Structure 1
Amino acid sequence: MSDFASQPLPPRLTPSPQPSLEEPDPNRPPTPPLRKSIFPHPHKPTWHVNVTPYSPAWPAQFNAIHTHLHKLFTSSSPPAPYLTIEHIGSTSIPGLAAKPNIDVLVTFASKAHLASAVEALNWEIPSDPPFAKYTQIPRGGGIPGRESYKIYLPKFSPYYASTPERSVYLIADIAENREGQVQIRCYRTVRDVLRRAENGDLLEEYGEVKMRLGKEVFGNGLEYSARKDEIVRKVLARGGWTGEEVDEKEKLSRREWVVDAEEAY
């Protein structure tokens, strides 16, 4: 990992970072080849989801992203105080197959703090083509109370060249944001249930479902998620969710926007 992430970030009042397309520093340790998580078929309206076996590198990749987001949110002007920066999704669960995409949950104590974080990320990531292709997803991906970023920018800067694709979810963990709190609880329940040794049966079943789906094709990326509903229901039930609570979560998830593939993936 480059020492780029250890350098202090400038305050937001300075000009936004610009693309840096020069050759990488030859003294930097080599970076493993980046792998995308979802690929469009070049000639057909179908999608292939790149599901891979668990990689021991994923926790370290999350740690690098955590360090970067912490510095971005605390050193920008004004700062964006957060409650937690958490590794969620399948890459956070040892032994589970996953798309090579690091999912990150950032929670905030107020909508104002969330808005500051959105401003900080919008300052740092590019807003013009061709780099804007993987940035903020419209309307939080369709989930009320959530702001979503899908970021894959290997040619934008040395930092992004040395870190993988990621999805960053920003949510205000407050009573007024009921939809956001449902999402937070779901992210944490799935992760925590599947990390526990006594739930190895669910971990194995979930991995088998994901690897099987990785061999299929879909009309869009959201179809992949829908095909996991049955196993996710089992995981949430094991985590103490009632049937009504799972129904509420699924209803919320089905509101996700099917946005232009070039924009979202």
Structure 2
Amino acid sequence: MAIYVTSDAHGHVRALDEALSKISLTSDDTLYVLGDMIDRGPDPVGVIKLVRSLPNAHVLKGNHEQIMLDAIIGQDPLDAETWDINGGWTTREQLNDMEFEAYEELVRWMATLPLYAVAETDERSYLLVHAGIQTEAARAFLLEHGVDCADGAGAVDADRELLQQMLAVQSSDDLLWIRHGYWDASTGLLSAEGNGPVVVSGHTPTVSLGRYCEVGGLAGLDEESGRGRIVRLGGEDTAGVPDRIDIDCAAATGSEFGRVGILRLDDGAEFYANIRPGE
């Protein structure tokens, strides 16, 4: 009964399938997919079909899914151009080849995807979002509801329902797009003893984290493979426990740096599959 999280496959269905084969997902396990299934890579619709075929898979909307929806059902003619600029041509071409009923069903399904989830292990809660959270707003909401995170107390007393309510009032733009103001500062949700909720997100390729925070040299690259890896941030004031985890392993960059990564929340185990040349 394990809980797994992955994100940002960006059309690389072969690598996602390989990574999934390493965890041997069963009907007793839960998999959270934190968006950006589509665009850039060669088979975005294949990624969607694979994800939807999995037992107990919970899918969140990423900024690329939102860009696609804006281009298809939005009113701004510039939305289609924005989609192309962000690698949407691979998705558009595959959608155009679908039967209308299947196309319509896929778009309707994608439009209903949630922006957040809260997963719980025996040890703690995990806040799952595509990009990150606005931490000041999160702490202010919790304070209004009786949970004071100040002075190293953290959000230890916030139960799952309250954490879900807090995420529900976050800006959708932040949940889908935030980088500055999230990666470069502690969330304040962990106590000095390392207890409380941890945020897990994708969106920012770990090979690019140095643009948004101090991660130390090439921390976003796996030393052995030279590819993107899962990165944990924080811990300096929380007994070594990181308060943010980035699981975007740069699949969108292709075969030079890219991998699909999967994180098991129960014990922190990591599983990877490389993007191959030509993918």
For the criterion TM > 0.5, the same-fold answer is no
* TM-score where L is the length of structure 1: 0.25
Structure with the bigger percentage of helix: 1
* TM-score where L is the length of structure 2: 0.24
